[in-house]
């Protein structure tokens, strides 16, 4: 199961990174479009909308990135975070649904629970 947990962590990091790249692209396109237009009213509107939409995507991507990174480190709290994200992903048809099902399957297995429990015991002793 450790390989599945590693794959799951990498998937969450990858999808979250795509979300962060989308935030950069949206920010650049919206703010840049306003600047290129030369219209002061368009510049004022896009100067607010671009960063707001980009921040929205950053806030959506951050939990997955954090959860994925710490899932690779077998932190017990990351299992709970990624499980919550997995359930939320179920409504994002089709890729999110597949990721959500895989997340639930991997992290509810007894072997995975034991992996994170053993990791918690090791961290307590350190």
Domain ranges of the chain: 2-120
Confidence of residue 125 (pLDDT cuts 50, 70, 90): low
Structure-token pair, residue 105 = 């399957």
Give the pLDDT of residue 118.
80
Query: Who has greater pLDDT, 100 or 2?
Result: 100
Give the pLDDT of residue 119.
72
- For the whole prediction, is pTM greater than 0.75? yes
Distance CA 118, CA 113 (A): 9
């Amino acid at each position: 199961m450790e390989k599945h947990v590693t794959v799951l962590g990498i998937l969450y990091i990858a999808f979250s990174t795509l979300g962060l790249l989308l935030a950069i692209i949206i920010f650049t396109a919206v703010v840049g479009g306003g600047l290129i237009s030369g219209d002061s009213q368009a510049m004022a509107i896009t100067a607010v909308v671009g960063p707001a939409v980009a921040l929205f995507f950053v806030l959506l991507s951050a939990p997955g990135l954090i959860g994925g990174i710490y899932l690779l480190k077998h932190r017990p709290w990351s299992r709970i975070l990624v499980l919550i994200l997995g359930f939320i992903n179920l409504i994002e048809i089709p890729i999110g649904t597949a990721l959500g099902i895989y997340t639930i399957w991997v992290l509810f297995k007894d072997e995975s629970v034991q992996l994170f429990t053993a990791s918690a015991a090791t961290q307590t002793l350190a």
